[in-house]
Chains A and B, each alone.
Chain A
Amino acid sequence: MDFTLSKEHEMARTLFKEFAEKEVKPLAIEVDETEEFPRATVEKMAKAGFLGIPIPKEYGGQGCDVMTYVMCVEELAKVCGTTAVIVSAHTSLCCDPILTYGTEEQKQKYLPDLASGRKIGAFGLTEPGAGTDAQGQQTKAVLDGDEWVLNGSKIFITNGKEADVYVIFAITGMVEKRGRMTKEISAFIVEKGTPGFSFGTKEKKMGIRGSSTYELIFTDCRIPKENMLGQQGKGFNIAMHTLDGGRIGIAAQALGIGEGALDRTIAYVKERKQFGRAIGAFQNTQFQIADMATKAQAAQLLVYKAAMTKDQYTKDHKTSYSVEAAQAKLYAAEMAMEVTTKAVQLHGGYGYTREYEVERMMRDAKITEIYEGTSEVQRMVISSNLLK
């Protein structure tokens, strides 16, 4: 087993790190304070190709592997959790299902604009009554002539109002499954500006405050028949498979947040003096730093392994990466929460102020234990695979 990154990956990391330090870090506090979507940064990322990293070149993407994409999200998250999730939701939750399940026409129509960042993507599955229980959703799609008519709403949608292309799930009928009637769910591509598609309230969040989290409302929203994504009735599978990939992106975000907090804490404990010594000279600090660094390293290995497993799937379309993704997200998210909490503690009173970024990182870290499947869901995915 070789843990050395290729020269290409090393150079890509240098690129992401330089971009993050120069373009993203200086705005991170302001993005959090103002809760404004960092549109100018997104445009710069688009220009640099960051919004289409794992999309094949034939569809206008960069043609890189998942590993490269993961390193991009990781480096962005080290300085700004908001910017990282914008890239992750766009790439993993919108570009990826269109690439995996779209017809050739759909890929040609949507991917070049998404991969180049001319358009931003989002994903709508969650509803007020359907979070972890994705089957509980109420949004319906009814075929009327050559159009599907959507009615219902989606909540907590990342990139909500800023996106242009949305992958939306809705009930298209009832089917009998093992003697019981269950909802038949299908996936659709919906474009911003479609009559009947509007935005509800903006969520006021604890962390990742610059990401645009909105409610999407569909009222007799008519979309062309050809905008169904994948086969009718396969929506649930599409959603779950998409989330397997999305979790690798969120795991990378959590990893970056934890690493960013660790970096700042190491710098701080070398500078901060108490009792005439840098607090890094105290054994308690040293042990805390050792534990934080070890957990961050373990998380990185899990995240990279998940990325490599998904890369294998890209080649053979067989390899499952569901468990690897769940393990990576579970561990990285819990690591991020623990490391950022310790980072705040080691910063003392200063760590509780918004002047020191570990405070924001602790707030940003929490969501990684919740969205795209809570830590409890990840445990369900992992154990159900072991106990089947």
Chain B
Amino acid sequence: MKVVVCVKQVPDTKGGVKFNPDGTLDRAAMLTIMNPDDKAGLEAALRLKDKYGAEVTVVTMGLPKAEEVLREALAMGADKGILVTDRVLGGADTWATSQTIAGAIRNLEYDLIITGRQAIDGDTAQVGPQISEHLGIPVISYAQNIEIEGDSVIVERQYDDRYHVLKAKMPCLITALAELNEPRYMTPGGIFDAYKAEITTWGRADLKDVDDSNLGLKGSPTQIARASDKVRKGQGEKVTLDPSESVAYIIDKLKTRHVI
């Protein structure tokens, strides 16, 4: 069984969000982590490795620095790491990103592709499903549990107040939620092995069946106009009233602010 996991190196928001003067994220000034949903996806793949001996290949797209996230994946137990990096791929939106990753995955054999639901820096949740579309395979999103049965995969898909159980023939793509599992820690020895391992680096020329018009900034239909930090809400107001008084108080406040 061969599993491909897509991961993204994202800014660690715990260390604070920093911006360039033009309003875009200053990624170089921020600490980075493996995107939490992707990490859960990797853990799911590693559990398939523990149970069925699956071979786990991790793919990322980004700056050369994104190699770090692949080393981390190897230190957790992944078998191979592939970094897709090229200047012409820069500035990609979700469309161009999914085209790039699909172009890379076409070079690989796979039964299952696992991506995170969404990245904490963009929150679009589009790349995973788009990759499946480009590759012409089924997608099951928002997975909270994954089981294998013969040549099929059975997935619990999270829904608002329930979950759906879906069965799909492999190959297929699954998008994972951070709640899917508790990812394992890297091991100290795994870290040293990860830095001895070779990371495969692919550029534009290595992407299969992708048109230039779908890549990089030029191939991106969407552009980010502006990004900003969350505006902090005030401390709020605490009042102690009996239930009927408190309802009147809240309604009055809402009216004052023209909410109702």
Chain A interface, DSSP helix/strand/loop, else mixed:
helix
Q: In the complex, A7→B75 CA distance in Å? A: 13
Cβ B195 vs Cβ A8 within 8 A = yes
The interface residues of chain A lying within 8 Å CB-to-CB of B186 are: 11, 15, 48
- A61 in contact (CB, < 8 A): yes
Cβ A72 vs Cβ B188 within 8 A = yes
Cβ B188 vs Cβ A49 within 8 A = yes
Cβ B185 vs Cβ A12 within 8 A = no
Chain B interface, DSSP helix/strand/loop, else mixed:
helix
Identity of the chain B residue whose Cβ is nearest the Cβ of A55 in the assembled complex: B189
- B72 in contact (CB, < 8 A): yes
Among A6, A7, A47, A50, contact of B188 (Cβ-Cβ < 8 Å): A50
- B71 in contact (CB, < 8 A): yes
Mark contacts of B50-62 with chain A using CB atoms, 8 A cut-off: 1 yes-contact digit, 0 otherwise: 0000000000000
The interface residues of chain A lying within 8 Å CB-to-CB of B17 are: none
Identity of the chain A residue whose Cβ is nearest the Cβ of B186 in the assembled complex: A15
Write the nearest CB–CB distance from B21 to chain A, whole angstroms: 28
Asked if A18 meets B185 with Cβ closer than 8 Å, knowing A8-B195, A11-B72, the reply is yes
Mark contacts of A29-72 with chain B using CB atoms, 8 A cut-off: 1 yes-contact digit, 0 otherwise: 00000000000000000011110010001000111100010001
- B24 in contact (CB, < 8 A): no
- A19 in contact (CB, < 8 A): yes
Cβ B185 vs Cβ A8 within 8 A = no
Cβ B75 vs Cβ A11 within 8 A = yes
Mark contacts of A2-27 with chain B using CB atoms, 8 A cut-off: 1 yes-contact digit, 0 otherwise: 00001110011001001100000000
- B187 in contact (CB, < 8 A): yes
Cβ B189 vs Cβ A57 within 8 A = yes
Write the nearest CB–CB distance from B138 to chain A, whole angstroms: 34
Cβ B185 vs Cβ A62 within 8 A = no
On B, residues with C-beta under 8 Å from A are 68, 71-72, 75, 184-192, 194-195
> Could you list some 7 contacts between A and B, CB below 8 A?
A7-B71, A7-B195, A11-B71, A48-B185, A63-B189, A63-B192, A64-B188
On A, residues with C-beta under 8 Å from B are 6-8, 11-12, 15, 18-19, 47-50, 53, 57, 61-64, 68, 72
